[in-house]
Amino acid sequence: MARHPQGSDHFPEASMSELARIAAAMAARGKGILAADESTGTIEKRFKAIGVENTEENRRAYRDMLFTTKGLGEHISGVILYDETLRQKASDGTPFAQLLAMQGVIPGIKVDTGAKPMALCPGELVTEGLDNLAKRCAEYVKLGAKFAKWRAVINIGNGIPSQACIVANAHALARYAAICQGSGLVPIVEPEVLMDGAHGVERCEEVAEWTLREVFAALASQRVTPEEMVLKPSMVVSGSESRQQAGVAEVAQRTLKVLRRTVPAAVPGIAFLSGGQSDERATEHLDAMNRLGGAPWALTFSYGRALQQPSLKAWRGSAANVAAAQAALAHRARMNGLAAMGQYRSELEKKAA
């Protein structure tokens, strides 16, 4: 019986649904997902740091620089876009979704409307955006999107997260995923346990397992097909303000332990978020997990800042810097592509420097 080249399914390719094929392609060996779905407010902070004005044209020019990078599809399987970006065009007039598809990169779209304060749960957030979601998904499909993304945010703090918060976010993620699959889009399910705080790695592990158990129970109750989705979780790391920071090997072991306990083997791929980790540390963690081996799903990346930051710094809003900025993006994509196969070495960073 022929297996899919990624080995991420248990059926002959001919029997796979179109959504299962897209999900498997998103988790292709040695490739990951570029998160370029920053909201206008978030991109303003990034632009301010490099002295670039936050105008629609500058945002378009920045994304144009990223998406026209030569060989982008060698290590990037898909790109998550923001609503504005999906409607924009490259400098030559080609719609961005079409430009990416021509590079062999799958275009996707962020569909949630943000994490908002949760009533009666101080310090906790619940993600909104279910209203009119089916209608928006239908439009995004027409614009060329093949997958979608929804992010839930779980804070760790004094007495939080609460059961109420985790259940509410898991339910919203599951409703979103069901609507996406019903609309012809592969859902990226992103339950992010924030690394902000002074908690230890043990507490992060506990909350990550609790969150993922609730998420997959909710997905099952909403009849979401696991073969037709991609999970985008955070890694099990120490709180950013914790005095004791878990090492790379410990992060890899704890993260895999939680995933093995909670994620069905039928899910084709797990694409980690970087969640504020440094560029190289996010790569090291991914590599360590893949070196451990034996996982039933592809373990890859869906990084935003950890892929874009060196490129953004090199670009600085100038057309003269496009080649250097694209080289920086291509390098980080290649490093993470190697990490997704357990073949990354830190010496490769020095060679490129």
Model confidence over 133-161: pLDDT tens digits? 999 999 999 999 999 999 999 999 999 99
Percent of the chain with pLDDT over 70: 95
pLDDT at 353 over 80: no
CA distance 329 to 333: 6
CA distance 205 to 255: 7
Burial 221-244 (b: 16+ CB within 10 A, else e): ebebbbbbbbbbbbbbbbbeebee
CA distances, 282 to each of 29, 249, 276 (Å): 18, 12, 9
Catalytic residues: 190, 232
Q: Where are the alpha helices (DSSP H) in 143-221?
A: 163-183, 201-221
Place of tokens 């004791």: 244
CA-nearest of 1, 14, 2, 9 to 28 is: 9
pLDDT at 64 over 60: yes
CA distance 66 to 23: 23
CA distance 263 to 261: 6
Q: Centre a 10 Å sphere on the Cβ of residue 44 and count the other Cβ atoms it contains.
A: 15
pTM over 0.75: yes
pLDDT tens-digit series, residues 79-103: 999 999 999 999 999 999 999 999 9
Structure-block tokens of residue 303? 């990084």
Topology (CATH) of 26-352: TIM Barrel (3.20.20)
